Structure 1
Amino acid sequence: MTISQTEVTLEEFEAFDAVAPEGLHVELINGRVLVTPAPDGDHDENVMAIGDQVRAYDPELRMYQERGLVVPAYRAGRARVDGAVAPVGYFRGQPSWADPVGVLLVVEVTSGSQKDADIDRVDKRDAYAQAALPVYLLVDRHRGEVVVHWDPEGGRYQHSEKAVFGAKLRLPDPFGFDLDTSDLA
């Protein structure tokens, strides 16, 4: 749910984030404050299944769940990503809203309403491309598919591929392995 259709400043966002009730995700994407409920169990299992495959591919990588990232783009931004793949220890010593420069892949899993899903499909995709995050993986539970976007240039991802749940999806470099989507739902 979007609580504001008007742009807010970073300071206004930080004040709101500081008093937001536990169990709500508060983000600042393209100048708008977004508030969503905490994820359900299937949501968490999807992120964990992807994280397990990444770790099997490279034991030096980890899937960090519910990480806050600074996604500056053309407006100050703060995104609480469902999953962020980075080298072991990357987030040690980082603040709540971390610098995303060492993040190799961001994962979002759709939940809630169709409107919330559209935020993951468009708004967050564009914010992550503008922040030059190398790979964005979207588990779209509404459409029953997984979409990978990569090669950000000029604020847009240059490539994308998708696969229906149950099929394999090739992840681009720096991964280069086939993601098994059969456990995703």
Structure 2
Amino acid sequence: MTVATDRPHMPTEDFEALARMASREMEGTRLEFIDGIVRSKAMPDGDHGRIIQWLTRICVQHRPELWLHPGQGIKAQQYRAGRAIPDGALAPSDAFVGQGDWVEPEAVLMVVEVTSWDSDTHRRDHVEKPRAYAETGIPVYLLIDRAKCEVSVYSQPNGRRYESVHIVPYGTDIALPDPVGITLQTERLKDWVR
């Protein structure tokens, strides 16, 4: 059997209709469309939510003009044909007003993903999402990996991938480069490990 990897499984407009229907009909279902493939995004657990709260507070303290928008759908990948739902999108507070379910990514300074416990989290968060966000031109991708107890900062997108990746274990300070300009003290992340 041959799998077509050069074209999406469906047009983007059909995916958007499917995602709207799924969120209405099946409570808690969130769909993404990356590399032309429809995927379900896992619902966050309590520790996942607490990590996003922690990060939101840090961002607001250091950059009060910004907000870490949780779960905002963004148009991703080349030609904005993909649809991703990062766990957080750092952008000006009113950046997405009036845009609907899937927003234009130009105002996004950083996207955040916190790993889940589902079977495809490695492929999604370490391979597909960094590529999609780099293709989109999002300056910084922050990945908080709960299984590995590591924080990864991807920066310098070149349209295909991020040129710079800096990985540290929980407990180590890590700089979020410009245009974010915040240093994270990651010791607290040790409190939210299973």
> Which residue identity does 1:157 align to in structure 2?
Y
Cα distance, 1:181–1:14 mapped onto 2, change above 3 Å:
same
User: What CA distance in whole angstroms lies between the structure 1 residues aligned with 2:20 and 2:60?
Assistant: 33
- Structure 2 match to 1:165: 170
Give 1:24-173 correspondences, 5 Å limit. 24-73=29-78, 76-173=81-178
Query: What is the deviation of 1:35?
Result: 0.6
> Which residue identity does 1:100 align to in structure 2?
P
Q: 1:15 aligns with which of 14, 17, 23?
A: 17
Query: What is the deviation of 1:87?
Result: 1.1
> Which residue identity does 2:88 align to in structure 1?
G
More helix by share: 2
User: What CA distance in whole angstroms lies between the structure 2 residues aligned with 1:75 and 1:29?
Assistant: 10
TM-score (norm 2): 0.87
- List alignment gaps of at least 5 residues for structure 2: none
Secondary structure, in 3 states, of the residue corresponding to 1:182?
A: helix
Query: 113-122 vs 50-59, which deviates more?
Result: 113-122
More strand by share: 1
Query: What is the deviation of 1:106?
Result: 0.2
Q: How big is the alpha-carbon RMSD for the aligned residues of Structure 1 and Structure 2?
A: 1.6
User: What CA distance in whole angstroms lies between the structure 1 residues aligned with 2:180 and 2:98?
Assistant: 26
Query: What is the deviation of 1:82?
Result: 0.3
User: What CA distance in whole angstroms lies between the structure 1 residues aligned with 2:107 and 2:79?
Assistant: 20
Question: Percent identity among equivalent residues?
Answer: 40
Contact 2:76 2:132 survives alignment (8 Å): yes
The structure 1 segments of at least 4 consecutive aligned residues displaced by more than 4 Å after TM superposition are none
* Count of residue pairs the alignment pairs up: 181
Secondary structure, in 3 states, of the residue corresponding to 2:120?
A: helix
Query: 87-96 vs 74-83, which deviates more?
Result: 74-83
- List alignment gaps of at least 5 residues for structure 1: none
User: What CA distance in whole angstroms lies between the structure 2 residues aligned with 1:177 and 1:74?
Assistant: 30
> Which residue identity does 2:40 align to in structure 1?
V
Cα distance, 1:75–1:51 mapped onto 2, change above 3 Å:
closer
